[in-house]
Structure 1
Amino acid sequence: MGTWDIGHFDNDTAADFSGTLKDTAPGERAGLLRAVLETAAGSTDYLDDYEGAQAVAAAALVAAQCPGGTPVTTAYGPGEAIPELPAELRALAVAALDRVVAEDSELAELWGEGGEGGAWEQGIRALRQVLAQAG
């Protein structure tokens, strides 16, 4: 996975996911986010970095609509406003983030090996906190 910073969209996979989201009809975007979050949250095997990075990006978009959430303003984000998302995606996003930082997650492993795992994980914890509080 190509990365250039620790932000939720600062990698090739998340940027590509943003493009896919942009190409998806507005009424189907919540379903796409749900599918990505369900894939990560429901994984019982080793979670690969591709699925993890998509889940983090999806969770960031859900969190952006929560009270206290940070808007996604990066050039690598979707570029268009995301329609109002169902509130039940918040708990699913929390479960997906918990899975992304678990021991058997390639994304967590790669960040840990890269030396910036602490800063990356702090960003994940901040997203999780917003989502959990909005629950």
Structure 2
Amino acid sequence: MGTWDIGPFDNDTAADFSYRVDESPAEKKAEVLRASFREVIETGEEYLDADLAVEAIASAALVAAQCPGGEPVTTSYGPKNPLPDLPPELRPEAVAALDRILAEPSELLELWEESDGEEWKTGVRNLRAVLTTT
């Protein structure tokens, strides 16, 4: 995985995921995001692959961008096309996915703990906080 910073779209996997979001019809975009959350959540206590985690974090950033206090996704590596209004039901799924990513065994967590782990974890926790704000 090529990673150049700690943001949700600052890696090759998330940039590729953005393309998949863009290519989905407007009425299917929420389901693309939901699928990324479910793949992470369904790992349970099994080892969580970094690529699945990265896609879920990118999805969470897209959902959070539509929440009060959420930051818009403005990076050139994010989706190029605007997303329709996303259903609020995605928020708890995003939170559950982020919680799973921050729990062992998680490849992405392990990789970040080898470098800027605390700064990255703070970013993920900030995303989570936006998603839980009503």
TM-score interval, smaller chain: over 0.9
Q: How does 1:77-96 map to 2 (within 5 A)?
A: 77-96=78-97
CA distance in 2, matches of 1:110, 1:26: 34
Matched, 1:19 2:33: no
CA deviations on 1:53-75 (whole Å, 9 max, x unpaired) are 00000000000000000000000
CA distance in 2, matches of 1:109, 1:32: 26
CA distance in 1, matches of 2:5, 2:14: 12
CA deviations on 1:27-83 (whole Å, 9 max, x unpaired) are 110011011111112212110000000000000000000000000000000011111
Task: Describe the SS at the equivalent of 1:30.
Answer: helix
CA distance in 2, matches of 1:112, 1:64: 26
Amino acid at match of 1:13: T
The TM-score with structure 2 as length reference comes to 0.97
Q: Aligned pair count?
A: 133
- The aligned counterpart of 2:117 is 117
Unaligned runs of 5+ in 1: none
CA distance in 1, matches of 2:78, 2:12: 11
Identity of aligned residues (%): 56
Task: Describe the SS at the equivalent of 1:27.
Answer: helix
The alignment yields a C-alpha RMSD, in angstroms, of: 0.7
Task: Describe the SS at the equivalent of 1:103.
Answer: coil
Task: Describe the SS at the equivalent of 2:133.
Answer: helix
- The aligned counterpart of 1:39 is 39
- The aligned counterpart of 1:74 is 75
CA distance in 2, matches of 1:43, 1:84: 28
Moved segments of 4+, more than 2 Å: none
- The aligned counterpart of 1:104 is 105
The TM-score with structure 1 as length reference comes to 0.96
Unaligned runs of 5+ in 2: none
